[in-house]
Amino acid sequence: MLFFKNFFNVNGIFYNFSCPRKTQNNGDVERKNKSLQEMARTLISEYSIQNYFWEEVVSIVCYILNRVFIRKVLSKTLYELGKGGKPSVSYFHIFGCTFYILTNKENIGKFDEKLDKTIFHGYSLSSKACIIYNLRTQVVEESMHLIFDEDDNTLEKRRIADLEELERTKISNHT
């Protein structure tokens, strides 16, 4: 504890402990948790992700927020504050989009598929790999060798179908 007090004093950090089990005293943390929860709920709903993948969804939301959320006072992202340089977001992919990976089946038949269809679930924290859900094996895994299919317009098709349904509803209500 003494180490932390000295560290805080040397770096000009003011610290204050909150009462245990009193969420009212943790306003900043509670707002951050609420933001994570709302964004995760939106991703799960928008991309029809199964609820049991909530951990991966919250992880990717936190990963994204740390790289794009700008601190108003400092005009820097949290990543810049921690690492010192601007984060690269050029490798970001659409959450829930379809990927293909080279299958790792032992005995591939002459006419068997060589690619497994997967769904993007996030970024690895320990390497440059992506976290994916393999639809054939039904396992969440990390892989770097992916073929992206971000042009998979299933989300766009669903939006068009929703708009068409809305139009049909309006027309039937007016007649």
Question: Which two tokens mark 134?
Answer: 């393999």
- Does some domain include residue 138? yes
> Do residues 72 and 118 share a domain?
no
Task: Answer with the one of 39, 56, 85 that is the final residue of a domain.
Answer: 85
- Does some domain include residue 145? yes
Question: Which two tokens mark 89?
Answer: 């977001």
> Do residues 50 and 122 share a domain?
no
CA distances from 73 to 54, 68, 69, 78 (A): 32, 15, 12, 12
Q: How far apart are CA 23 and CA 111, in angstroms?
A: 59
- Does some domain include residue 167? no
CA 98 to chain centre: 15
**What is the percent of the chain with per-residue pLDDT over 90, rounded to a whole number?**
0
> Do residues 20 and 63 share a domain?
yes
- Does some domain include residue 148? yes
> Do residues 80 and 7 share a domain?
yes
> Do residues 81 and 2 share a domain?
yes
> Do residues 73 and 120 share a domain?
no
pLDDT tens for each residue of 89-126: 777 777 777 778 877 666 777 777 778 888 877 788 78
- Does some domain include residue 22? yes
Full domain range(s) for residue 6: 1-85
Which region, left, alpha or beta, applies to residue 76 given φ > 0 means left and ψ of -120 to 50 means alpha? Answer: beta
> Do residues 68 and 131 share a domain?
no
- Give CA angle at 41 (52, 83), nearest 5°: 95
pLDDT tens for each residue of 1-42: 678 788 888 888 877 776 776 666 667 777 888 888 898 898
Q: What is the DSSP string of the chain?
A: -HHHHHHHHHTT----PPPTT-GGG-HHHHHHHHHHHHHHHHHHHHTT--GGGHHHHHHHHHHHHHHHPEETTTTEEHHHHHHSSPPP-TT---TT-EEEEE---SS--TTS-SEEEEEEEEE-SSSS-EEEEETTTTEEEEES-EEEETT-THHHHHHHHHHHHHHHHHHHHH-
Comparing 148 with 58, the larger pLDDT belongs to 58
- Does some domain include residue 15? yes
> Do residues 57 and 116 share a domain?
no
Pick from 94-98, 124-128, 135-139, 157-161: least confident = 157-161
Q: What's the predicted TM-score (pTM) here?
A: 0.57
- Does some domain include residue 172? no
> Do residues 74 and 2 share a domain?
yes
> Do residues 106 and 150 share a domain?
yes
> Do residues 115 and 144 share a domain?
yes
In which band, very low, low, confident or very high, does the pLDDT at 54 lie, cut at 50, 70 and 90?
confident
Total Cβ atoms within 10 A of residue 149: 14
Q: What is the pLDDT of residue 123?
A: 80
> Do residues 79 and 47 share a domain?
yes
Q: How far apart are CA 43 and CA 37, in angstroms?
A: 10
- Does some domain include residue 60? yes
